[in-house]
Copies of this chain bind each other. A is one copy, B any other.
C-alpha cells in the first residue's frame, strides 16, 4: 500500500482532476499546489524560517547577489517559500495517506519508500481542447498558454531539483491521459497504490 501519491502533470493534461479522483477513491487527503502555497504563506513556520536564515547562512551564492530581492544569504522570497513548502510537503507525507499535486513533491519525497510518483501528460490537441473547455478562450492562444505554463514548471523544477521535468525516470509511472482517458489513469494509479 502506498500512503502518498505525488502527481506531476502538464498543464491541461487533467492531472489535477485525476489526482482529486484518486484521493476520493482511496479516501486520502488531497493537496494541490495552491493549497500548499497557502499553507506555506500562512504558516508561522515560514516566518521562523525566514528569520533564522536572515541571520546569515555560511553558504553564499555569488550569482544570487546579482539579483534584486535577495537577503544577505542570497535567498530570494521565492527560495523561502520553496523551503517552507518543502517542509510542509515532508510533514504532510509523514502524516500520510494523501495525494499531492505539483510543487516538485516527487523530488522532495524521492527517498521515501511509501510514495507512488506519477506523471500525467497528453498531446497538444487534447490539452488545448481541455483548457479552452475549462478556462475559456483568452487573447493568448491555448497553445501559447500551455507552452508558457509548462516552461515555467520545467524551469522551476530544474532550479530546485537539478532534474529535467517530464523525464520518465523521475516517476514510477507516466501516463498519456489523452490516449488512456482520465478514468483509466485513475483506475491504474489506484490499483498500483493498493497493490505495491
A residues sitting closer than 8 Å to B (CB atoms) are: 10, 119, 121, 166-169, 171-176, 179-180, 184, 188, 192, 195-196
28 contacts between A and B (CB under 8 A): A10-B169, A119-B168, A119-B174, A121-B168, A121-B169, A166-B167, A166-B168, A167-B167, A167-B168, A168-B168, A168-B171, A168-B174, A171-B174, A171-B176, A172-B175, A172-B176, A172-B179, A172-B180, A173-B173, A173-B174, A173-B175, A173-B176, A173-B180, A174-B174, A179-B196, A180-B192, A184-B195, A188-B188
Give every chain B residue within 8 A of A172 (Cβ-Cβ): 175-176, 179-180
The answer to whether A180 and B167 touch (CB under 8 A), given A173-B175, A174-B173, A174-B174, is no
A169 to B176, CA, bound (A): 7
Integer count of this chain's copies in the complex? 2
A196 to B72, CA, bound (A): 56
